């Protein structure tokens, strides 16, 4: 009787051992790289050289902006009371008809431009941006459909999307400036992720040849800055990856 029980249990033990062996990789991966364990039976090890990480840059704030604006002698200061930057955010997704277009604006621009040195810099705080000012919506013929609490909720989603708690501002460093060709080369930094762009601008000057305004527009993609567009309902309603930006910088 005891021998019969042993023979009955033996196949079960063999089956358990076989299943256990199929779940253990043949080799232990080194400390570097990533281990994909979505399929426990068929694990795939990716070597470190194939792992792609977003490029980060040290904040320019260290050199160009540290609490008080460091302005080169002879540079022109931005007049924040007359300057504005607007971001036009569109909707995306299968249920985009349920969403809204938004205009987010900054009226707290801080910075300077030095034509003699072909350089400039400006920044603004994300938390101080306004959401859907009626006058801006009207200018773009967009309806003002949200109430105050809805606008505030939308702004909080934006702050979370941009991680404004850890990366409170957007910074733009102008590394070359040619008013005659209406061109600037800028380093744009969001969440300490940087991209470089050549931007067409329009420059006006005063009678004494001082810069009055610099205006322009461009489009950027959120994912270029490692910013995941906000989404709801499982991605059926989301923020469009591409945003449009307009700026009107007035100088003192």
Q: What is the pLDDT of residues 9-29, one digit of tens each?
A: 445 444 444 444 444 444 444
DSSP assignment of 144-212 equals: ----HHHHHHHHHHHHHHTTTTTS-EEEEEEEEEEGGGTEEEEEEEETTEEEEEEEEEEEEE-TTS-EE
Query: In 3D, which of 206, 175, 204, 169 has the Cα closest to residue 189?
Result: 169
Distances (CA, A) of 102 to 130, 137, 144, 154, 205: 10, 8, 9, 9, 32
Residue 225 has pLDDT above 70, yes or no: yes
Query: In 3D, which of 76, 55, 105 has the Cα closest to residue 174?
Result: 76
Distances (CA, A) of 194 to 38, 61, 136, 226, 235: 32, 13, 28, 10, 27
Q: What is the predicted pLDDT for the residue at 213?
A: 94
Sorted by where each starts, the structural domains of the chain and their CATH numbers stand as: 2-50 (no CATH), 61-250 (2.40.128.110)
Residue range 127-131: mean pLDDT, rounded:
96
pTM strictly above 0.75: no
Q: What is the predicted pLDDT for the residue at 69?
A: 57
Q: How many CB atoms lie within 10 A of CB 150?
A: 13
């Amino acid at each position: 009787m005891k021998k019969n029980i042993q023979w009955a249990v033996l196949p079960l033990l063999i089956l358990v051992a076989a299943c256990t062996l199929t779940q253990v990789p043949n080799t232990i991966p080194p400390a570097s790289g990533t281990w994909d364990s979505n399929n426990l039976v068929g694990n795939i090890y990716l070597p470190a050289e194939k792992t792609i990480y977003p490029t980060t840059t040290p904040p320019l704030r260290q050199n160009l902006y540290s609490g008080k604006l460091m302005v080169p002698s002879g540079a022109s200061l931005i007049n924040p009371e007359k300057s504005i930057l607007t971001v036009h955010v569109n909707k995306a997704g299968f249920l985009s008809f349920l969403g809204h277009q938004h205009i987010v604006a900054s009226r707290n621009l801080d910075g300077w431009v030095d034509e003699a040195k072909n350089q400039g810099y400006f920044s603004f705080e994300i938390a101080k941006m306004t959401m859907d000012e009626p006058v801006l919506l009207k200018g773009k013929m967009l309806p003002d459909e949200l109430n105050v609490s809805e606008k505030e909720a939308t702004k909080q989603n934006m702050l979370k999307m941009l991680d404004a708690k850890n990366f409170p501002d957007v910074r733009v460093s102008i590394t070359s400036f040619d008013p005659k060709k209406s061109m600037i080369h800028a380093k744009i930094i969001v969440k300490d992720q940087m991209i470089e762009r050549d931007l067409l601008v329009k420059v006006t000057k005063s009678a004494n040849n001082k810069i009055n305004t610099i205006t322009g527009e461009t489009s950027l993609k959120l994912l270029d800055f490692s910013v995941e567009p906000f989404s709801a309902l499982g991605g059926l309603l989301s923020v469009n990856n591409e945003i449009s930006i307009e700026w009107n910088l007035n100088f003192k």
